[in-house]
């Protein structure tokens, strides 16, 4: 493994999106989102020069050329062999909302965080891709629950099959209860890879931090099965790694 970056870097999202376009990397990564900065055609040349001056000040460009390491970083982000990315939203503290990812390609790996218009990118160990991602989730105790599995069909008719006199809730009603319970935060996770130059991305996996109960992970597979797991670091790591095999 090589180290593609020797230090963390921080830059504005608008600058990264402009360089992404100049490098012909296709649609921006979902974590970056589309550019909402309009630059008139007559001013694009000056805007590009200003971007490269700032990138040079960060050690990421020399005159009008990006450094090799920074170009490698961009290509890891644009065409990863493996990636995990996430939208984290906080119910009572939107200022903590952020997007982050880990991505690997060619033996190198990076992590990227987007918070508002600020982007930070750091090198990570490729062999610890999943562990690095899980460690970026905020600390929250796992819910003390057993694994739950049901089908989409059974969940859709849960009210019709509900027995109000049953001692315990059915798996479907238990899942509904937790999905409606007050929450601290939700972390919407996707796994991804690149195939024939095209991004492949998984169905979402929802990591939910339930107030006074703990963290759970809820997701569906390709056979219309629904799963609910306790959100332990081990469960999350195993589930995220297994998701790559479904792509």
Q: What is the pLDDT of residues 138-165, one digit of tens each?
A: 999 999 999 999 999 999 988 776 666 6
pLDDT per position as a tens digit, 159-189: 776 666 665 788 898 999 999 999 999 999 9
The lowest-confidence range among 4-13, 51-60, 93-102, 120-129 is: 4-13
pLDDT of residue 189: 99
Residue 1: predicted pLDDT? 44
Q: Which tokens belong to 197? A: 């130059």
Measure CA of the first residue to CA of the last residue in the chain; give whole Å: 25
Q: Pick from 93, 101, 118, 81: which is nearest to 30 by CA?
A: 101
Tally of CB atoms within 10 A around 179: 15
Question: What Rg do the C-alpha atoms of the chain give, in angstroms?
Answer: 21
User: At how many degrees (to 10) do helices 13-22 and 44-57 cross?
Assistant: 110
Residues 35 and 28: beta-carbon distance below 8 Å: yes
Structural element, H or E, at residue 235: helix 233-244
Q: Across residues 209-223, what is the average pLDDT?
A: 97
Question: What phi, psi does 43 have (nearest 5°)?
Answer: -105, 0
The pTM of the full predicted model, rounded to 2 decimals, is 0.91
Does residue 11 contact residue 55 with C-beta atoms inside 8 Å? yes
Question: Which region among 3-12, 57-66, 217-226 has the lowest average model confidence (pLDDT)?
Answer: 3-12
Are the CB atoms for 142 and 231 separated by under 8 Å? yes
Q: Where are the domains of the chain?
A: 9-136, 148-245
């Amino acid at each position: 493994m090589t180290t593609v970056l020797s230090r963390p870097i921080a830059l504005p999202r608008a600058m990264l999106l402009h360089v992404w376009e100049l490098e012909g990397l296709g649609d921006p990564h979902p974590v970056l989102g589309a550019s909402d900065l309009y630059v008139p055609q007559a001013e694009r040349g000056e805007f590009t020069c200003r971007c490269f001056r700032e990138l040079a000040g960060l050690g990421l460009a020399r005159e009008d050329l990006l450094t090799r390491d920074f170009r490698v970083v961009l290509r890891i982000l644009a065409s990863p062999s493996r990636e995990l990315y996430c939208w984290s939203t906080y119910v009572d503290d939107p200022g903590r909302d952020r997007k982050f990812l880990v991505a690997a390609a060619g033996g190198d790996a990076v992590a990227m965080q987007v918070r508002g218009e600020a982007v930070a990118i750091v090198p990570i160990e490729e062999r610890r891709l999943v562990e690095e991602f899980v460690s970026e989730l905020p600390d929250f105790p796992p819910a003390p629950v057993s694994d739950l599995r049901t089908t989409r069909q059974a969940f859709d008719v849960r009210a019709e099959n509900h027995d109000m006199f049953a001692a315990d809730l059915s798996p479907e009603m238990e899942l509904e209860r937790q999905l409606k319970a007050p929450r601290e935060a939700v972390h919407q996770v996707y796994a991804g890879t690149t195939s024939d130059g095209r991004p492949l991305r998984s169905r979402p996996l929802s990591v939910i931090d339930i107030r006074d109960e703990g963290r759970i992970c809820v997701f569906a597979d390709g056979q219309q099965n629904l799963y609910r797991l306790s959100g332990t670091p081990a469960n999350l790591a195993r589930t995220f790694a297994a998701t790559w095999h479904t792509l």
